């Protein structure tokens, strides 16, 4: 079975009620591809508002982070049950900004991933290398290490979408070529075959997360192992619709 194209929109620390209303209404009224699953991820404070506005059948809402405890004295955190309670379906985990700014290591990401999946959320699992790691030629070593931590904890990958995000391409305007992306995505899928089996590897969607935009998204169209995009700043703009429809 062909993997369904998937486009995630990570709003990061951006937005207001007015801007989120504008974004969601644009998606609701657009002629979106029926073959693309779309997940928008606004800041946590707007999750409830976003889910109340979404009416497009192919669009759902996700969180940008979740804690690995159900409740308790964890000031500032958001629980999986709270995310589910406002009808959000997904969560982004392991994003490079969480790993670098908030010091989330591979084990923390793995624990959060397991907890979110066990509690019924889908997970957009981010992996990727820094510019220094890329220059050192250890890209595959880095992504394998990041994957191994999650593989050790998670046995059912049905609700996992992997987002390969070359850290050097996030917010810089730089981007891997479609050929570069295909090469690393194919290597990730080959690694999953060895670790999880051919069926799981074939079914797992692998997104490209490095500065995808309305201009370059269509150039990835014929890349067999690029199953969509995790989009940052462009998800706040009208061109997000073009990215969603780039496979059609």
Active-site option among 37, 95, 97, 185: 95
Residue of 11, 18, 70, 76 lying closest to 49 (CA atoms): 18
Helices (H), 172-234: 178-196, 198-203
Q: Which pTM does this prediction carry?
A: 0.96
Domain layout of the chain by residue ranges: 5-244
pLDDT of residue 131: 84
pLDDT at residue number 176: 78
Which of these, 212, 164, 230, lies nearest to 8 by C-alpha position?
230
Return the pLDDT at 167.
85
- 95 flagged as catalytic: yes
- Cβ within 8 Å of residue 241, ≥6 positions away: 26, 27, 30, 32
At 155-213, the pLDDT tens digits run 999 999 999 998 877 666 666 789 989 999 999 999 999 999 999 999 999 999 987 89
pLDDT on residue 210: 80
Cβ-contact 118, 159 below 8 angstroms: no
Residue 17 · residue 230 · CB < 8 Å: no
Token duo for residue 221: 């169209």
- On whether the 5-244 domain is CATH 3.20.20.70, my answer is yes
Concerning whether 165 is annotated as a catalytic residue, the answer is: yes
Distance CA 98, CA 105 (A): 9
The pLDDT of residue 172 is 67
Hey, what are 66's tokens?
Answer: 């979740």
- For residue 168, what pLDDT is reported? 79
121: nearest Cα among 91, 77, 86: 91
Tell me the average confidence (pLDDT) per consecutive run of 10 residues in the chain, 248 residues long.
Answer: 92 98 98 97 98 98 98 98 98 96 98 98 96 90 97 98 88 77 96 98 95 90 95 96 96
Phi-psi region of 76 (alpha: psi -120 to 50; beta: other; left: phi over 0): left
Q: Which of 97, 104, 129, 165 is catalytic?
A: 165
């Amino acid at each position: 079975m062909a993997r369904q194209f998937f486009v995630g929109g990570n709003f990061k620390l951006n937005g207001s009620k007015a801007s989120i209303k504008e974004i969601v209404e644009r998606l609701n009224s657009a002629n979106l591809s029926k073959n693309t699953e779309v997940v928008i991820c606004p800041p946590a404070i707007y999750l409830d508002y976003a889910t109340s506005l979404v009416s497009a059948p192919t669009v759902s809402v996700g969180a940008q982070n979740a804690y690995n405890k159900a409740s308790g004295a964890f000031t500032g955190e958001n629980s999986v049950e709270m995310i589910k309670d406002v009808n959000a379906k997904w969560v982004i985990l392991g994003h490079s900004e969480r790993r670098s700014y908030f010091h989330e290591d591979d084990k923390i990401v793995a624990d959060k991933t397991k907890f979110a999946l066990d509690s019924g959320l889908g997970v957009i699992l981010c992996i990727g290398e820094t510019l220094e790691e890329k220059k050192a030629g250890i890209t595959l070593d880095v992504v394998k290490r990041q994957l191994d931590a999650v593989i050790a904890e998670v046995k059912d990958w049905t609700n996992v979408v992997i987002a390969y995000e070359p850290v050097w391409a996030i917010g810089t305007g730089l981007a891997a070529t479609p050929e570069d992306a295909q090469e690393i995505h194919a290597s990730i899928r080959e690694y999953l075959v060895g670790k999880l089996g051919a069926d799981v590897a074939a079914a797992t969607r692998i997104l490209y997360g490095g500065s995808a935009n309305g201009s370059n998204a269509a150039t990835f169209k014929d890349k067999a192992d690029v199953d969509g995009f995790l989009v940052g700043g462009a998800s706040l703009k009208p061109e997000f619709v073009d990215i969603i429809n780039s496979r059609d």
